[in-house]
Amino acid sequence: MAASMNSQITTESLIIRLHDVNVVKFGDFTLKSGIQSPIYFDLRVMISYPEIMVDVATLLWNKVKSSSFKTICGVPYTALPIATLMSTAHQIPMLIRRKEAKSYGTKKLIEGIYEDGDVCLVVEDVVSSGSSILETAQALQSSGIIVKEAVVLLNREQGGCEKLASEGIKLHSIFTMGDVLRVLREAGKMSPEMVERVSDYILKNTFQPNQLAPKPKVLGYRERAKLCSNPITQRLFEIMEKKRTNLALSADLTDSKQLLQLIDKTGPYICIVKTHIDILEDFSEDFIEKLSQLASKHEFLIFEDRKFADIGNTVVHQFSGGVYHISNWAHIINAHTVPGAGVIQGLKMVKTQNGCGCLLIAEMSSAGNLATGDYTQATVKMAEENKDFVIGFISVSNLSPDPELVHMTPGVQLECGRDDLGQQYLTPSEVITRRGSDVIIVGRGIYQAPDPAEAARQFQVAGYDAFVARLTEAVIS
Ligand SMILES: O=c1ccn([C@@H]2O[C@H](COP(=O)(O)O)[C@@H](O)[C@H]2O)c(=O)[nH]1
């Protein structure tokens, strides 16, 4: 490793200082790709140590100063302040990539001044699979900016460099995982056993250039059922296995007689009936009794799509009381996380008839919805912290590798498209095979079809085939 231009900073001394301020952590960590790692570099800690930030920015700059670029762009968020330091110290204009395009105003993905064909250097803190650098590079490229090089503090040596090279991006790094292990071992800050454990992990967890990230193992429904501690998810996966279906019927009719007929006809093909009980014109206790009888007859769970979204105290009453007494009959409910964790605590307090699991609405299918980015991530965290009651997500993608958390996706039809009010449709194979969701939720695609039972059968086959394709792909890759 070379000493930097600033004679005070060597990469060795920087590694030791990063270790001493707790940037390097040992344990069991889940990386962005979903795989486990015994070592984690939390470089966000650096912002509390300005002198380290300046040294990192200096080292990065020295590494690339002979390259040719007109602007620099940090991968959000940790690399943003580092890129800012490089920009101000060397008077190189900076660009910022938005994680989501604004839905108002300029709707820009890239902030800052640039012209078509400008060359931009991407700055990042750590690279493992290379996917974060690639996301930023692709956003820049889609705005007409050329990305040929990226610079990173730590290359974890898990295939990111090769992946970026295969996409035409040359990666420069200050140090590698091998350097970290050597320096920390020589300084007596890492035991030989831990060095061996990490080296072994790196050897076994290298990303292939044609793979954005190693796919976590795809489990069958029977295996998932066995892994679930919550009786509702256990039961759901058992039904999915037995009936070979991942189809939830969104039973959005307003007449109870027609609704019961629809459910009876489609019952053999579904694992869940999703209701909006408050749209029924003629709700009665008798309807609930008949719905529960159909649930036993056809073996499906009842999901009331009430979307609780109030403070804990209020949702207690909404769930247990009022006209509908949802807690007496629903197996599954759902909640928005906008009120904070109190909504989960409130719902969890209610005594239920069937035991009840809650899905958190982490993403939505409708155009322009705000359940994205940090909101989605915070929702995933809430789910992981409340697994005694939260059984998964309403989402349009796979958000957690945890086999106990189930993903259910609305906005599904046999062809992609949209309705006039912002609903956006994906196909079963997009949702299940490519995006890794578990359950397709289908409403109008079934109940507005000329023959709803036949439509349900088609969705059952399409959804299940899509799952088998995901299993098969996982085995082959
Ligand atoms: O993000 C969401 C959350 C819930 N829904 C509900 O799913 C069904 C979809 O019905 P389709 O007729 O298949 O469009 C409906 O009950 C929504 O309230 C959703 O669509 N998107």
Ligand 1 atom with the smallest distance to the CA of 444 is: 12
C-alpha of residue 411 to centroid of ligand 1, in Å: 6
- Give the Cα separation of 141 and 150 in Å (integer): 14
- DSSP secondary structure string for all residues of 68-103: --SEEEEPTTTHHHHHHHHHHHHT--EEEE-SS--S
Give the distance from CA 99 to its chain's centroid: 14
- Residue nearest ligand 1's atom 4 by CA: 410
Q: Is 286 known to be catalytic?
A: no
- Give the Cα separation of 295 and 290 in Å (integer): 9
Determine the 3-state secondary structure of 289 from DSSP: helix
Ligand 1 atom with the smallest distance to the CA of 371 is: 1
- Residue nearest ligand 1's atom 11 by CA: 443
Residue 42 assigned ligand-binding role: no
Q: Catalytic residue among 310, 387, 402, 465, which?
A: 310
Ligand 1 atom with the smallest distance to the CA of 274 is: 16
Beta strand residue intervals within 114-257, DSSP E:
119-127, 146-155, 170-176, 247-250
- Give the Cα separation of 237 and 442 in Å (integer): 18
- Give the Cα separation of 3 and 459 in Å (integer): 62
Residue (of 380, 309, 428, 465) closest to 34 by Cα position: 380
C-alpha of residue 366 to centroid of ligand 1, in Å: 8
Q: Which two tokens stand for residue 321?
A: 């009381």
Q: Which two tokens stand for residue 163?
A: 């992946």
Q: Is 388 known to be catalytic?
A: no
Q: What residue ranges of the chain have pLDDT lower than 50? A: 1-5, 102-103, 212-214, 475-477
Q: Which two tokens stand for residue 1?
A: 């490793």
- Residue nearest ligand 1's atom 21 by CA: 365
366: DSSP letter = B
Give the distance from CA 18 to its chain's centroid: 29
- Residue nearest ligand 1's atom 19 by CA: 410
* pLDDT of amino acid 28: 80
Instruction: Give yes or no for a contact between 119 and 150, defined as CB atoms under 8 angstroms apart.
Output: no
Q: Catalytic residue among 55, 305, 348, 438, which?
A: 305
C-alpha of residue 6 to centroid of ligand 1, in Å: 59
* pLDDT of amino acid 98: 83
pLDDT digits (tens, 9 = 90+) for 143-201: 889 999 999 999 999 889 998 998 899 999 999 999 999 999 999 999 999 999 998 88
Q: Which of 249, 250, 419 best tests ligand 1's pocket when mutated (most atoms within 8 Å of CB)?
A: 250
Q: Between 192-204 and 177-186, two packed helices, what is the crossing angle to 10 degrees? A: 170
Length of the chain in residues, anyone? 477
Three-state SS across 317-363? HHHHCCCCCHHHCCCEEEECCCCCCHHHHHHHHCCCCCCCEEEEECC
pLDDT digits (tens, 9 = 90+) for 258-311: 999 999 999 999 999 999 999 999 999 999 999 999 999 999 999 999 999 999
* pLDDT of amino acid 195: 93
Q: Which of 423, 426, 448 best tests ligand 1's pocket when mutated (most atoms within 8 Å of CB)?
A: 423
The complex's ipTM works out to 0.97
* pLDDT of amino acid 208: 65
Residue 91 assigned ligand-binding role: no
How many CA atoms does the CB half-sphere of 55 hold within 13 Å? Answer: 18
Q: Which of 252, 270, 366 best tests ligand 1's pocket when mutated (most atoms within 8 Å of CB)?
A: 252
* pLDDT of amino acid 151: 98
Determine the 3-state secondary structure of 402 from DSSP: coil
Residue (of 115, 119, 113) closest to 137 by Cα position: 119
Task: Report the number of secondary-structure helices (H) and strands (E) in the chain.
Answer: 17, 18
* pLDDT of amino acid 138: 86
- Asked if omega into 375 is within 30° of 0 (cis), the reply is no
Residue (of 12, 90, 82, 1) closest to 49 by Cα position: 82
Q: Which amino acid is at 395?
A: S
Instruction: Give yes or no for a contact between 236 and 201, defined as CB atoms under 8 angstroms apart.
Output: no
Residue 423 assigned ligand-binding role: yes
Query: Given its phi and psi angles, is residue 385 left (phi above 0), alpha (psi -120 to 50 degrees) or beta?
Result: alpha
Q: Which of 305, 395, 419, 427 best tests ligand 1's pocket when mutated (most atoms within 8 Å of CB)?
A: 305
Ligand 1 pocket: which residues have CB below 6 Å? 250, 252, 276, 305, 364-366, 394, 410-411, 423, 441-445
- Give the Cα separation of 223 and 245 in Å (integer): 15
* pLDDT of amino acid 202: 85
Q: Burial letters for 222-232: b for 16+ Cβ neighbours within 10 Å, e otherwise? A: eebbeebebeb
- DSSP secondary structure string for all residues of 433-460: IIS--SEEEESHHHHTSSSHHHHHHHHH
Q: Which two tokens stand for residue 78?
A: 């940790």
Residue 274 assigned ligand-binding role: yes
Q: Catalytic residue among 25, 307, 387, 465, which?
A: 307
Residue 292 assigned ligand-binding role: no
Q: Is 305 known to be catalytic?
A: yes
C-alpha of residue 425 to centroid of ligand 1, in Å: 10
Question: For residue 408, what are the β-bridge partners?
Answer: 394, 439
Residue 443 assigned ligand-binding role: yes
Neighbours of 293 (CB within 10 A): 12
- DSSP secondary structure string for all residues of 181-211: HHHHHHTT-S-HHHHHHHHHHHHH-PPPTT-
C-alpha of residue 279 to centroid of ligand 1, in Å: 13
* pLDDT of amino acid 216: 58
The angle subtended at Cα 213 by Cα 211 and Cα 219, nearest 5°, is 105
- Residue nearest ligand 1's atom 7 by CA: 410
- Residue located via tokens 């020589």: 186
Ligand 1 atom with the smallest distance to the CA of 445 is: 13
- Give the Cα separation of 153 and 125 in Å (integer): 5
C-alpha of residue 410 to centroid of ligand 1, in Å: 5
